[in-house]
Amino acid sequence: MFAAASAKRRLKRGLAALKTGDTAVARESFEAALRTARLGEVWLVAGDAASSLGDLARDSADLPGAEHHYRLAATQYRRAPRTARSVGGRVRCLESLGDVLLLEGRPWDAYREFQEGATAAGADPSRPMGTEHGVEFVSREDLRWTSHLATAAQAAGRRRLANDHYEKVLAGCELRGDIAGQIMCWEGLAALAEDMMAWNDAAHALYHASNLYPALPDPEAHTREWVQCLRDLGAVYKTLGRRDEQVRAFKLAVRLEQVDSSARVNSNSETMAHDEHHRS
């Protein structure tokens, strides 16, 4: 009982220090909370403390330290009584651990952590493909974790596996009408095709991605990504010797850049005029 109260106090002290930007005190408090909680078998508090230490290590670019603490936190959460908080904490730690392992250049290790995270979250990476009775309901968790798996598989050079994951996410995004998700998938499939020098497949994927940008809720906010997609498409058309399509893609990219540049200039002029009006 004493250990639980003491660990909770130290955890609260660490969170308060974190809000004021005092990371040294926050780290010291989290470490003390972790020690006390583990001794008293207060697993949920131990998970929270270790997770917070993982965040601090990640934010300071200490990737080995972040990996250690996220693994430790996931273990503490698994030992705790099963509640929404303990499951949610473990899922978050496994996701963060996968991201850290990707940054460390260990994509296949990241893939395994993402698999475990998907299971813990109740996501089913196979669900977006549907069943013989039609396409099943696809949750955002299904798409999010399948996307993580696709990214890790691609980084690990498992192109066929990554391609399978991207196609599953794409099917789910189409079902949900998720335009941004569809663009991400088409661009991921294009990158895989380029790695395999399958230029026709790359052109097909980039063409679909470029046509989806106008359907975004705020396409102007994504002009630069749209322009880059068109330039990539033009480069692939050039490789294929499809000159007319190459020129069309590059011309549209240039036109979008000009419109974006004009909009930025007008916005800056309006801001300056507004500021001048207030000063006067």
Segments making up each domain of the chain, as ranges: 1-104, 207-274
At CA 241, angle to CA 248 and CA 213, rounded to 5? 35
Q: Which residues pair with 131 in a beta bridge?
A: 134
pLDDT at 271: 53
Measured in whole angstroms, the distance separating CA 113 from the mean position of its chain's CA atoms is 14
Dist. CA 208–CA 223, nearest whole Å: 16
Contact 171, 155 (CB under 8 A): no
Which residue numbers in the chain have pLDDT < 50?
272-273
The listed CATH number (1.20.1250.20, 1.25.40.10, 1.10.150.120, 1.10.3210.10) that belongs to domain 1-104: 1.25.40.10
pLDDT at 246: 95
pLDDT at 177: 86
pLDDT at 263: 57
Q: Which are the contacts of 92, defined by CB distance < 8 A and separation ≥ 6?
A: 51
pTM, two decimals, is: 0.76
pLDDT at 172: 83
pLDDT at 147: 87
Q: Find, among 41, 47, 48, the residue nearest to 1 by Cα.
A: 41
